[in-house]
């Protein structure tokens, strides 16, 4: 069975695992095991690691930062809006370096966290001038490199969607982050997803009931919304009609949840999507 639209972040899962099971999407992120060794060994080593995917023309989803040393303190939440100009400059330089490597290795797009959860970083508290300056810089970078930049939403999806549209950028819809955002803002989860759908270039997939410690749970068909799980199939029902070819990238926490159960759920979902 082949699932070209579906796959997983390389988080304890190898490119060969995905290829042999027929999945066509793979994701890179600096926090994914083996925890950024590619930054230590360099671009050539990463190219060799990804070769099974490149041979099958799989979609490679690049989540900044990737080419960051494993010992780095980078949290994955960039300093786009730091008051210190030097921090902002260094972040931009690192992002552009990542983008250049992503291009050479055939990535389909690059994802970056843009805002945090409302409880951490409220949009109305951001410096509007820095937000506009950052978005303008990203729009120029996207045009120069011809690689789509996807802003991952933690906070208010409406706030982010109108700004991405204004600057010609794209969105990364994260199914789990959207749960927390909707709860904190009192909005409707599925309506938020539908509003974002036209600009979504990649969908990050995991489930949660928002219980303490329950984070990045792999999707499985026995996760019933009646038991508190996010309605993943309903989410896809809002996004795919507007954006039918969007790559879907599972983001499981491993080995906190069983690998066999993960593959079972992913294959089941792949069969539903193909219908």
pTM over 0.85: yes
Q: What pLDDT score was predicted for residue 77?
A: 80
Cβ proximity of 266 and 8 under 8 Å: yes
Q: What pLDDT score was predicted for residue 13?
A: 87
Q: What pLDDT score was predicted for residue 215?
A: 82
Q: What pLDDT score was predicted for residue 244?
A: 96
pLDDT in tens, the chain (275 residues): 899 999 999 988 899 999 999 999 999 986 655 556 777 788 998 999 999 999 999 999 999 999 876 555 566 788 898 889 999 999 999 999 999 999 999 999 999 999 765 555 566 667 889 999 999 999 999 999 999 999 998 888 999 999 999 999 999 999 999 998 898 888 999 999 999 999 999 999 999 998 877 888 999 999 999 999 999 999 999 999 999 999 999 998 765 578 899 999 999 999 999 87
Cβ burial of 145 (10 Å; 0-12, 13-18, 19+) is middle
Q: What pLDDT score was predicted for residue 232?
A: 96
The whole-angstrom separation of Cα 221 and Cα 177 is: 20
35 phi and psi angles, rounded to 5 deg: 55, 55
Cα dihedral sign, 253-254-255-261: positive
The whole-angstrom separation of Cα 264 and Cα 97 is: 37
Domain that includes residue 25, residue range? 3-274
Q: What pLDDT score was predicted for residue 11?
A: 80
Structure tokens at 79: 């300093």
Q: What pLDDT score was predicted for residue 86?
A: 94
Q: What pLDDT score was predicted for residue 253?
A: 76
What CATH number has the domain bearing residue 201?
3.20.20.150
The whole-angstrom separation of Cα 2 and Cα 60 is: 16
The whole-angstrom separation of Cα 212 and Cα 119 is: 16
The whole-angstrom separation of Cα 181 and Cα 184 is: 5
Q: What pLDDT score was predicted for residue 118?
A: 57
Number of domain units in the chain = 1
């Amino acid at each position: 069975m082949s699932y070209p639209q579906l796959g997983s972040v390389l988080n304890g899962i190898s490119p060969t695992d995905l290829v042999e099971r027929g999945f066509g999407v793979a994701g890179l992120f600096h926090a994914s095991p083996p925890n950024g060794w590619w930054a230590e060994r360099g671009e050539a080593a990463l190219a060799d690691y990804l070769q099974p995917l490149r041979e099958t023309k799989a979609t490679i989803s690049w989540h900044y930062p990737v080419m960051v040393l494993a010992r780095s303190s980078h949290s994955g939440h960039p300093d786009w809006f730091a008051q210190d100009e030097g921090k902002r400059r260094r972040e931009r330089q690192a992002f552009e370096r990542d983008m250049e490597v992503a291009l050479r290795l055939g990535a389909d797009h690059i994802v970056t966290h843009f805002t945090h959860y409302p409880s951490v970083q409220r949009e109305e508290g951001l410096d509007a001038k820095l937000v506009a300056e950052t978005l303008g810089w990203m729009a120029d970078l996207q045009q120069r490199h011809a690689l789509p930049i996807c802003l991952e939403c933690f906070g208010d999806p409406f706030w982010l969607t109108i700004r991405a549209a204004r600057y010609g950028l794209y969105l990364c819809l994260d199914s789990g982050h959207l749960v927390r955002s909707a709860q904190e803002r009192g909005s409707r989860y599925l309506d938020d997803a539908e509003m974002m759908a036209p600009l979504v270039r990649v969908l990050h997939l995991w489930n949660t009931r928002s219980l303490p410690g329950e984070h990045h749970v792999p999707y499985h068909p026995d996760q019933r919304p009646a038991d508190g799980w996010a309605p993943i199939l309903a989410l896809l029902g809002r996004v795919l009609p507007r954006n039918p070819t969007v790559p879907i990238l599972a983001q499981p926490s491993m080995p906190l949840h069983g690998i066999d159960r993960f593959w079972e759920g992913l294959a089941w979902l792949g069969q539903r999507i193909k219908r």
